């Protein structure tokens, strides 16, 4: 975990000087700042980080499912019809029909029903209490759940991209297409607004429509504060970099 403290008033003063030297208005500077904050918020949202998060999220999703479901190679009704005979790695066993999942919908319902741990996680249950399904059905359900990975991160990226669209001029801060690319498809869950605040100072607001994005264990207040600070510092750095490029021409 990164600990960071920012002197926001001092950084804001630096931003004001940098944007003035660049020829930007306060509105333009705040808009650029909002783009950087959205990027930082995406990285600060669980699963924490800016690289390798897709695999971590998929692992967590599958692990949650395997805590309560035992995928088998095949299954068929027993001779009595009262149970199901399941086969896994050449070994067979009988299971009650009440714990047999026949399709993707039943798999998802069983997982949701067993979210009993803190942070809506499943708890590992004994095999004698677990449900079964074929590996094919299990993989189909996981594919659907994997597709939803990165929704909270994607909301912030969508907000950041909307803020980016509010910039004017040729030189703009943007979110690269390869940055958390798997999450960018969920950008529709985010939006940005820019309005006039007290003292005619512009205020940018980033919005995330994913309900759990506001949960403290998904994005804490401390991480939000850090994202604002890191975003501000990154914006100042961008202005200085652009100024150097202009001098080199």
DSSP 79: S
What number of residues does the chain have?
A: 249
Report whether 29 contacts 232 (CB < 8 A).
no
pLDDT of residue 89: 92
Q: With a cut of 50, which residues of the chain have pLDDT below it?
A: 1-2, 199-200
Chain segment 83-112, per-residue pLDDT in tens: 999 999 999 999 999 999 999 999 999 999
Domain extent listing, the chain: 8-53+150-248, 56-147
**pTM of the complete model:** 0.88
pLDDT of residue 4: 62
- DSSP string for residues in 7-30: -HHHHHHHHHHHHHHHT--HHHHH
pLDDT of residue 2: 46
Angle at CA of residue 8, ends 17 and 38, nearest 5°: 90
How far apart, in whole angstroms, are the C-alpha atoms of residue 228 and residue 4? 11
pLDDT of residue 104: 95
pLDDT of residue 169: 86
């Amino acid at each position: 975990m990164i600990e960071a403290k920012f002197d926001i008033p001092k950084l804001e003063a630096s931003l004001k000087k940098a944007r003035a030297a660049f020829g930007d208005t306060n509105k333009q500077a705040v808009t650029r700042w909002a783009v950087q904050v959205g990027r930082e918020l995406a990285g600060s949202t669980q699963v924490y980080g800016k690289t390798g998060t897709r695999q971590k999220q998929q692992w967590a999703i599958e692990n949650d499912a395997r805590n309560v479901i035992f995928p088998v190679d095949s299954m068929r009704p027993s001779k009595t019809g009262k149970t199901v005979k399941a086969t896994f790695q050449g070994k067979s066993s009988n299971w009650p029909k009440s714990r047999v999942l026949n399709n993707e919908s039943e798999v998802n319902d069983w997982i949701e029903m067993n979210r009993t741990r803190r942070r809506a996680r499943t708890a590992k249950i004994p095999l004698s209490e677990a449900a079964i399904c074929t590996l094919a059905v299990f993989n189909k359900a996981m594919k659907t759940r994997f597709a939803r990975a990165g929704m909270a991160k994607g909301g912030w990226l969508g907000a950041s991209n909307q803020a980016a669209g509010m910039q004017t001029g040729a030189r703009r801060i943007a979110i690269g297409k390869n940055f958390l690319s798997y999450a960018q498809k969920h950008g529709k869950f985010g939006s940005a607004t820019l309005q006039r605040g007290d003292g005619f100072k512009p205020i940018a607001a980033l919005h995330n429509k994913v309900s759990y994005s506001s949960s403290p264990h998904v994005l804490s207040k401390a991480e939000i504060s850090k994202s604002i600070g890191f975003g501000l510092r990154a914006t100042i750095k961008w202005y200085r970099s652009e100024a150097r490029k202009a001098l080199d021409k």
